[in-house]
Amino acid sequence: MNAVFETFKLRAEAVSAEVHRFPRKNEALDFILHYLHDVGISETPQTGAVWASCPFLDGFDQKQLSSQLPGLSFDVNREASAEAKVGISQLDWAIANTGTLVQDAARVDQRLVSTLPLIHIALIRSDRLVPDLPSALSKIRPEQTNYISFITGPSRTADIERVLTIGVHGPEKLIIVFFDGVCDEPGRVN
């Protein structure tokens, strides 16, 4: 597992993603809240954060989180996402040998928070890490969903003079947060 994670980290970092890993959900949440605070999430325009509903949030009080951090919204829509600085969502699978995240993205909020804001924080359960593309495609198939998204690093272009430039249409920063699924309440693994 650790070797696979190290491969993922290496590959993802090679394409300019940030990778973090926390044994507990609380620690992952703390990290995210601190991060949002540090990048100045607030209620003023262009500085909000949108968080698409996801299993990770189960057990956390969203209202309390919003009041703790004004500017953080769990009500994801087109306008809020277009205005937001940070988007947060949980992804379903991670592919180690390419540093890729995979998601059932049929729900539009899943795509809004990961395409429109400048920064995307991607949550992923550590046990959802698979070694390669074939193993990922055996887990998530088109029969289950109309839209599957693969995300590997932030948005990039080399269209002007072949100079690699990050953040053309999608996020210019991708922060990947693994959590080990060790749960604070026994019997609940998200």
Positions that interact with other proteins (CB under 8 A): 11, 15, 77-78, 82, 95, 97-100, 105-108, 111-112, 114-116, 133-134, 137, 141-143, 145-163, 165, 167-171
CA 114 to the chain's CA centroid: 7
Q: Which amino acid is at 43?
A: E
Least distance in angstroms from the C-beta of 94 to other proteins: 12
Closest to other proteins by CB, 15 vs 183, is 15
Closest to other proteins by CB, 64 vs 138, is 138
- The answer to whether residues 176 and 129 touch, using CB atoms and an 8 Å cutoff, is no
Spell 70-79 as b/e; 16+ CB within 10 A means b.
Answer: ebbbbebeee
The set of residues, in sequence order, having a beta carbon less than 8 Å from that of 87 and lying 6+ positions away, is: 49, 50, 51, 52, 81, 112, 113, 114, 115, 116, 117, 119, 120, 121, 171
Least distance in angstroms from the C-beta of 149 to other proteins: 6
Least distance in angstroms from the C-beta of 179 to other proteins: 23
- The answer to whether residues 81 and 117 touch, using CB atoms and an 8 Å cutoff, is yes
Least distance in angstroms from the C-beta of 73 to other proteins: 15
Q: Please provide residue 141's backbone torsions phi and psi, each rounded to the nearest 5 degrees.
A: -130, 155
Least distance in angstroms from the C-beta of 134 to other proteins: 5
Closest to other proteins by CB, 67 vs 165, is 165
| Pick from 39, 38, 52: nearest CA to 81 | 52
Closest to other proteins by CB, 66 vs 97, is 97
Closest to other proteins by CB, 65 vs 80, is 80
